[in-house]
Amino acid sequence: MGFQTVYREKVDYINQGLAFLLSQRESHPTILDAIRYSLQAGGKRLRPILFLSAYELALGDCSKAQPPTLKQDPILSMSCAIEMIHTYSLIHDDLPAMDNDDYRRGKLTNHKVYGEATAILAGDGLLNLAYEVMLESLPADPNKQFGYLKAMKVIAHSAGISGMIGGQSADIENQGVNSDESMLSFIHTHKTEALITGALKAGVLACREDKEVLEAVSGYGKAFGLAFQITDDILDLMGDLNQLGKAPGSDERKGKLTYPAKYGLKKSQIMASQYIEEAVSLLQPFGSKSEFLISLAESILVRNR
């Protein structure tokens, strides 16, 4: 099967999982609607796909790694929980108090449709739901429980103040400030790369604690995450409104510290390619088992959304 087909299958699996997990919730209809609106707006599902692929790599046999049924499955719940955390961060990032954006994933942002108060609650609700669905799915087997809890800890750490939230805080403080390269690196490693690497490490830990795989995916995640953020900065500068699903040029308007602003377009493109080369080289020793993750890394350089 080609890369695109496998990618599409994983997206479908995650989308079905998200719909299934949401269908099991009882709540006030407005908050459920607002959550569904952003969660099902068609993101790339990159972080849960990285989680699933790292799980498969650790398992070493991809054919066993596709849970075919939608039930309380720990791997399905954890992959969906990662997407819930990511979607909450996007909803909050778009708020007037943060980036004040009108469009996301090709649709009006959550607060534009439901108002600020509900958008804040939708983000809070998703963050809580993420941990609720993971804990609901805690494996009964004590041997599997330990790895699963370790994976949860990695996710909490990478999405929290030592990861994504820390990066977001620095990002906000440095808007309109000509900070140095170390600050640019701090922002992007924390805001973007942390959750990407966290998803990969969680995938390995949820399967089995294999030191070699863990080290390899950690290095891959760091390089992948930085290349992903550089291409995000480049797309914000030169991307197409319809493909991006949001207006380009917003970083420049807000005076954001970005790779193209700091290093120029050409050097930023070269840096993204170098990071992807590094990511690929770290997984090559795993042969055909890492084929999908290698193709995924390569696809980052040619992405248009």
Task: Identify residues 58-87 at the interface with ligand GRG (CB under 6 A).
Answer: 86
Residue 239 tokens, joined = 């991307």
Min separation Cβ 84 and ligand GRG, Å? 11
CA 122/CA 105 separation, integer angstroms: 16
Residue 18 tokens, joined = 């998200």
Q: Is 157 among the residues that bind ligand GRG (CB under 6 A)?
A: no
Residue 170 tokens, joined = 């620095």
Q: Is 168 among the residues that bind ligand GRG (CB under 6 A)?
A: yes
- Whose Cβ is closer to ligand GRG: residue 56's or residue 233's? 233
- Whose Cβ is closer to ligand GRG: residue 89's or residue 118's? 89
Min separation Cβ 245 and ligand GRG, Å? 7
Task: Identify residues 207-236 at the interface with ligand GRG (CB under 6 A).
Answer: 232
- Whose Cβ is closer to ligand GRG: residue 190's or residue 289's? 190
Min separation Cβ 109 and ligand GRG, Å? 11
Specify the 3-state DSSP secondary structure of 77: helix
Handedness of CA 161, 102, 226, 207 (dihedral sign): positive
Binding part of the chain for ligand GRG, among 40-48, 128-136, 253-261, 277-285 by CB under 6 A, reads 40-48
Q: Is 46 among the residues that bind ligand GRG (CB under 6 A)?
A: yes
Question: Contact at 8 Å (CB) between 39 and 84?
Answer: yes
Specify the 3-state DSSP secondary structure of 186: helix
CA 90/CA 105 separation, integer angstroms: 10
Binding part of the chain for ligand GRG, among 131-139, 160-168, 199-207, 290-298 by CB under 6 A, reads 160-168
- Kindly state the number of chain residues that form the binding site for ligand GRG, as judged by CB under 6 A: 15
Residue count of the chain, please give it: 305
Q: Is 89 among the residues that bind ligand GRG (CB under 6 A)?
A: yes
Nearest-5° angle of CA 217, CA 219, CA 222? Answer: 105
On the CB side of 38, how many CA atoms lie within 13 Å of its CA? 35
Binding part of the chain for ligand GRG, among 8-16, 21-29, 89-97, 147-155 by CB under 6 A, reads 89-97
Specify the 3-state DSSP secondary structure of 108: strand
Residue 82 tokens, joined = 């990662």
- Whose Cβ is closer to ligand GRG: residue 123's or residue 147's? 123
Spatial CB neighbours of 295, under 8 Å, sequence gap ≥ 6 = 3
CA 102/CA 110 separation, integer angstroms: 9
Question: Which residue in the set 21, 75, 90, 297 belongs to the binding site for ligand GRG (CB under 6 A)?
Answer: 90
Min separation Cβ 46 and ligand GRG, Å? 5
CA 269/CA 265 separation, integer angstroms: 6
Q: Is 93 among the residues that bind ligand GRG (CB under 6 A)?
A: yes
Task: Identify residues 178-197 at the interface with ligand GRG (CB under 6 A).
Answer: 191-192
Q: Which residues in this chain contact ligand GRG in the complex, by CB under 6 A?
A: 43-44, 46, 86, 89-90, 92-93, 105, 164-165, 168, 191-192, 232
